[in-house]
A = this chain, B = another copy of it.
């Protein structure tokens, strides 16, 4: 098959956009060039000639020569407007915007079917790891039993610093911000929203179902304290923020929660800004992928792999969504958790049962027991400062 020549219209020239520009100019094997770049800020100094840029999105969307739109802007609402318009005009689209995709997933899915155009977004989940492409290889939803991973580089960096260098949570956050990993307001990362958006995308490619982000529990690491870190260290465990989905029969559960990882687990050595994905499938058994989850070049390389696939008219098949034996999403699943608390009433609220361990002192109390996922969702743990919960 002769590769299609790609003429790109690029939205956004930040960290990833610049990375893509450089990557495209250093690789000679891909027949693609950027025709125009649409940016927002008229006063910013830029590394390229002014003629490369426009401030009018229609310059890109209405240009019949541009056959692929690459959307790499921050604003999820504007991104959706650009992406949906481009699809309606029959242009293929590549995006890395997990929030936008997670929030508008069903509409974006329908637009691809209606206008018969590809929409690729490998860079939106786990950066450089080709996880979506890999999941697309599994054609039947009952062939997969679980997908889980470390999908957020910022929190993994913070957790690595607290675990390996004995830093406090606050120190580690500050360091991550200074290095540019964490935003000045790191809420989306440390409360687990960012990995949840990614998990929502994985759900569609794993079990063929579209789930609204608000249906899925996301709980982060911002309430972790030194007692929790010490508990992990003493038991030879490491706390990691895990996005998880698995099925029992036709019922699918999903959540983002901290988990205590054992030393013999593959996830144990995934440190700093690295991401990982663990796929359990019927025939290929367990597959494990590790790669950089963020950063200019790793993300740009995932965008590049989508562009290169579009040369050969690749598109996601969403076969699992079209299958008859559809899966049902549910939060009615028990989880074994560690709960650190100051007020015992928390245990009643969470309806902790089957308590296997309990520890109490003046400054530190915890139990290990069983909690139902829907109970945890109702508890809204991100807003409970005196509690830390992790799967164990």
Contacts and interface: CB of A to CB of B under 8 A. Distances in A.
Interface residues of A, number: 51
Contact of A290 (B29, B282, B287, B313): B287
Nearest to A278: B290
Most chain B Cβ neighbours within 10 Å, of A140, A281, A284: A284
Contacts of A266: 269-270, 290
Interface in A173-231: none
B283 A298 contact: yes
Nearest to A295: B285
A149 to B, nearest CB: 12
A304 interface: yes
18 contacts: A26-B140, A26-B143, A30-B139, A129-B287, A130-B130, A266-B269, A274-B286, A283-B298, A284-B292, A284-B302, A285-B291, A285-B292, A285-B298, A286-B290, A288-B288, A288-B289, A288-B291, A289-B289
A35 interface: no
Contacts of A298: 283-285
Contact of A269 (B129, B140, B269, B297): B269
Contacts of A19: 283
The 10 closest A-B pairs by CB, nearest first: A29-B139, A288-B290, A128-B284, A283-B301, A284-B301, A287-B291, A283-B297, A285-B292, A29-B319, A137-B305
A370 interface: no
Given A292-B284, A301-B281, A27 B143 contact: yes
Given A29-B319, A284-B301, A308 B269 contact: no
A298 B268 CA distance: 24
A114 interface: no
A62 interface: no
A194 to B, nearest CB: 20
A302 B283 CA distance: 9
A285 B301 CA distance: 9
A270 B315 CA distance: 33
Contacts of A37: none
Given A286-B292, A297-B285, A308 B139 contact: yes
A1 interface: yes
A264 interface: yes
Contacts of A290: 266, 286-289
Contacts of A143: 26-27
Interface string A1-45: 100000000000000000100010011111000000000000000
A323 interface: yes
A367 to B, nearest CB: 30
Interface in A328-368: none
A69 to B, nearest CB: 21
A20 to B, nearest CB: 10
A312 B118 CA distance: 15
A85 interface: no
A319 B312 CA distance: 14
A134 interface: yes
Given A269-B264, A288-B289, A288-B290, A323 B29 contact: yes
